[in-house]
Every structure is written in C-alpha cells, then in structure tokens.
Structure 1
Amino acid sequence: MRIGLTVIAALSLAAASLPAAARHPENGQTAPSALALPAELEAPAQVVDGFHAALARGDTEAALGFLAEDALIYESGGVERGRAEYAAHHLGADAAFAQAVPSRVLRRTGALRGTTAWLASEGRVTGAYNDRALDHITNETIILEHDGAAWRIVHIHWSSAAAPTRS
C-alpha cells in the first residue's frame, strides 16, 4: 500500500510537458493563470518539468540527473536521504507509475530567493494501476538550488489523498 500511495503522490505531475498538460478538470482547457510563473522561475520550472518528463518516459537515469546528490525526498511518511537511496528504493516504481497513469497540473506557484527556488504544484492523477482505479488530488513542493552551473532539486515533498466524490 505504501508504494502505491507513494507512487501516486510522487508522480502527480508526470506528464511529459507539464504546462501543456495542465487542464481544468471541468472543461479540459488549459489554465494559464493557474500555471503562470514569474520569468525568474522559468529555469527552475524547466528542471521540475524535465524530472517529471524523464519519469514519464521511464528514463530513470535522466530523472536522477535532475537531483542533487544529497536530495531529501519525503513521500507517504517516509524519507529517502539522497539520490542513491531514492534510486535504490522508489525510483523504478515511480517511473513505472508515471508511464501508466495520466496526471495533470491544476495550479503552480513558487518563488526565488537568491540561489534557492521553490515550486509548489497541485494536481490530479486519474486512471488505473495494478488493476486498481485511482482518482487522487496531489500536492508537490520542490526546492531547488543553483550550484553556479545548473539548478538541482534538493528537496521533494509529495502527498496525495483520494479525490472527493461528487454527489
């Protein structure tokens, strides 16, 4: 069960091109105001999008390339301390899930403070995985640092919950 919920939370944003995949659930239209970020956040957002796109392609090596060596990943009450620990534990399952289950970004916000940026995204993942129907609301916070050469993900916090049922 932990892996299933972990994967759901982890890959809420796993569309190959997140801004293009963002949709209002009611009408299927893009939500530019919900995804608009200041220009200074374009490069960090491209790193986040690249990480998710790599997972969605099943390219785990490329996904790892976006993470700092000491990245700290919180998911479903657990912690993975570093890129190597993530690679050894949940990376493969996260990539398999991202390839199998559609997801979309509903809102994204963030800020830049010197060489640190954060992006917070709300999304929805719907579909089936391991013969189980899924409909979850997801939340992701990613912190990135610029090391002088590139932006790297230093922290990820993922959470999800079953979407409310409509009456």
Structure 2
Amino acid sequence: MKINYVLTTVLSIALLSFSTFAHEPPKSIERSATHFSGLDTAAGRSVLAYHEALSNGQADDVMSALTSEVIILEGSRIERSAEEYRQHHLHADMRFSAAVKTTTIEHHVRVYGDTAVSIARSHTLGTYKGKQIDKQGNETLVLNLINGHWKISHIHWSH
C-alpha cells in the first residue's frame, strides 16, 4: 500500500533526524530552547490542543483530534481505531492525565508536506489509583492534513 510506504519512509526519516532520543535522558529535566521546535506550526498547535483536551477531560475534543482509523500503541496494547480507543482507554487516559503532572522535557514537530511527526519526551509525577508515579516517557505522533485540519493517525507511547 502506498500509504504504508509513505508512513514508513516518513517515520524512518523522523527517527533518524531525532537521533538524540536514542541516548540516555539527562539527569536534569531543565527546559531549554534547543529542546523545542515546530510547536508554532499548525501541526504543532494541533498536538498541543490534543494534550490539553486529554488533560482537561474533553473527550469530544480528544476524539476530534484523531482520524477514525488511528492506531495507538502503548506497551503491549494496540487500538486500531478511534472508536476502539473511545471504548477502551480514553476515559482512563483522561483520568490519568488529570491526576498527575506531566512536564515536557523535549518536543519537536516536523512537517513533511501533508504529514507531520511529533516526538516528545516527558516526566510524569504524581499519584494515580494509590500508586506513586515518577517516570520519563516518550511519545511519537503521526499527523495527516485532512480537509485543512491536522489529525492524528498514529500514537506510540512508551515509558
């Protein structure tokens, strides 16, 4: 399929261009201007709005940020559509995001025509379901420009 080839090519280029993510995270999570780029693009603003909606429990806004065929990978789980995500993990993800404080350490958004890739590292601290949370995580989002709007077609979260 042409779209799989394009997606594989874009992801390969993005991963090569973000090689700093392959190294150990710095001991300090101090924010630096060199650790942030592309957030002022339309795609970058869409990613930020998606995260804000997730943290604020705005399910309709979260869902409108996703393509109907979004693929979401987290740990050993996979959800193969927005509807599957809505039914299985959306509400738990919103509760988690509201309960903890997540600080972005590094975030880059690169636009390649009608496709954009967002790669971010974060530190999450807090308590969720009685458990202390203190972890660093990585996120990769692939967005597609559809009818003038950036929509998330792929999410990969790892901790």
Classify the TM-score, shorter chain: 0.7 to 0.9
Q: Does 1:118 align with 2:111?
A: no
In the aligned structure 2, how far is the partner of 1:109 from the partner of 1:57?
23
Task: After the TM superposition, list the runs of 4 or more consecutive aligned residues in structure 1 that deviate by more than 3 angstroms.
Answer: 24-27
In the aligned structure 2, how far is the partner of 1:113 from the partner of 1:59?
29
Please, what is the CA RMSD of the aligned residues?
1.8
What is the identity percentage for the equivalent residue pairs of Structure 1 and Structure 2? 28
* Structure 2 length-normalised TM: 0.78
In the aligned structure 2, how far is the partner of 1:38 from the partner of 1:56?
18
**Given residue 75 of structure 1, which amino acid in structure 2 is its aligned partner?**
E
Give the Å deviation of 1:72.
Answer: 0.6
Q: Does 1:139 align with 2:125?
A: no
1:101-144 CA distance string (max 9 Å, x none): 00011011232221001010011101111111111110000000
Give the Å deviation of 1:25.
Answer: 7.9
* Structure 1 length-normalised TM: 0.75
Give the Å deviation of 1:61.
Answer: 1.1
Q: Does 1:71 align with 2:70?
A: yes
Q: Does 1:105 align with 2:98?
A: no
Gaps of 5+ in 2: 1-25
**Given residue 114 of structure 2, which amino acid in structure 1 is its aligned partner?**
T
In the aligned structure 1, how far is the partner of 2:50 from the partner of 2:59?
9
Higher relative contact order (CA 8 A, sep 6+): 1
Gaps of 5+ in 1: 1-23, 161-167
1:16-41 CA distance string (max 9 Å, x none): xxxxxxxx9848x64222112286xx
Secondary structure of the corresponding residue to residue 116 of structure 2? strand
Match of 1:130 in 2: 129
Match of 2:148 in 1: 149
